[in-house]
Amino acid sequence: MANTGDQLNSEATRNKIPTLTDSEQILWIGHPTARSMYGRYVLGGLMGGVYLFFWWANMSERPQGEGQMAFVIKTLHLGADLSGVFGLLLVMLILAKIIHFSNGPASGKWTILWVVFSAVLPALWVSMEIGINVAGFFGDGDFPLPSWGNGYYFLLGPMFAGVLIAFTAIYQRAFTYAITDRRIHLIKRFMYLDANSQSIGYDRIENLIVQTSITSRLLRFGTIQILTASGLNIASDSTSVAAGVSNDIPNDEPPGGIRKLFSGIGLFLSFKRTRPKAVNEPESCIYGIHAPEKIHLLINQTSDAFRMS
C-alpha cells in the first residue's frame, strides 16, 4: 500500500477510482482484508471436510476402540457408510441451512446456492443412475455417465471447496475504498459481471460507526458504516421469513392441497435470523479493513476540515 501523497495520487492509482475528480486528492486507499472473508474460507473447509469424511467412511473398515468418543466415531462412520450420497445430501443441506439461518457475512445468495449444488449433485447423479438402470432406457440399462464410485468423494470435495475459496479471494479483491479531501468512494468490480460505484460527500455524512466482533478483533479488522440523511447503509428490519403460506387460496384448490405443502416447505427453507438495521455488505460500507479506528479518525479529521473550508 502506498503511503506518500505522490504515490497515492499517481496516475495508476487514480485510474482505479472512476468516480474521482481531477481536483480531489487521495488521502487513503484500501481494500477488505483477506481475514474479513474468513467465514467463506471456513465454509469451504467444512465442505471439503464433509466430503472427505464420507470418502473415508465408505473406503475404510469400521474403526475399533472403546469409550464414548470411539462410540461417536463408529456411529458417524456407520451412518456415513450406510447412507452414502444421500447422507451427504442431508449433512450438506443442514450446513447450508445453518449458514442461511445465521444471516451473516457468509450467507450470500451465491454462496448458499453453491453449497446446495454441491449437496445435490452426488445424490442426483446416483438417483439418475439407479432410475435409468432400472427403467432400462439404454439397452441393458447402461448409464451414459461414469458410475458413481467412492473416489468421487475425494475428487469433488476439494473441487467444490477450492472453487468457493478461489471465488472468495477474487470477491475480496473486487472492492476498493478511497478517502479523499472531498468525499469517500466505494468501488466494486467483480470479474466484469458486477460493477458499481458510489461517492459520499462529507456534507452528507451524519454519523460513522465502527463495527467489530470478538472474531474481528482477534483477527484485527473491522467495518466502518457511513450513515447519511438519505439512509445510506441503513435497511429496514429484515423479517425472519421471506416466504410463507398465502391466505388467498383459489376456489379450485382445497386448503390442504399440494400448494399448501410446497408453501410450507418454502416457509421452512426461507426462515432465518433477523439482521441489524445497518447493512454490512462490502459494497455499501468500508468493509473488513485493517485498523478501522485509524481510518475512522482520518474521516473525522477530513470531514471537519472540509466543513470549515
- Do 199 and 30 form a contact (C-beta atoms < 8 A)? no
Residue 24 within a domain: yes
Give the H/E segment covering residue 222: strand 222-228
Q: Mention every residue, 6+ apart, whose C-beta is less than 8 A from residue 105.
A: 36, 37, 39, 40, 280
pLDDT digits (tens, 9 = 90+) for 103-142: 777 888 889 999 999 999 999 999 888 887 776 655 555 5
pLDDT of 159 reads 96
Residue 164 within a domain: no
207 and 95 in one domain? no
Q: Is the pLDDT higher at 272 or at 276?
A: 272
Query: What is the domain extent for residue 210?
Result: 5-31+173-238+274-308
179 and 301 in one domain? yes
115 and 223 in one domain? no
Q: Is the pTM of this model over 0.85?
A: no
139 and 113 in one domain? yes
51 and 119 in one domain? yes
Residue 302 within a domain: yes
81 and 20 in one domain? no
For 9-37, the DSSP string reads TSHHHHTT-TT--TT--EEEEE---GGGG
Residue 148 φ/ψ, nearest 5 degrees: -65, 130
The label of the residue with cell 475399533 reads 64
pLDDT digits (tens, 9 = 90+) for 231-251: 655 443 343 444 333 444 444
Per-position b or e across 164-201, b if 16+ CB within 10 A of its CB: bbebbeebbebbbbbbbebbbbbbbbbeeeeeeeebbe
Indicate the residue among 157, 189, 209 that finishes a domain: 157
Residue 243 within a domain: no
When the pLDDT of each residue in the chain is averaged and rounded to a whole number, the result is 81
Residue 253 within a domain: no
Structural domains counted in the chain: 2
Indicate the residue among 157, 192, 214 that finishes a domain: 157
CA 211 – CA 136 distance, rounded (Å): 60
123 and 186 in one domain? no
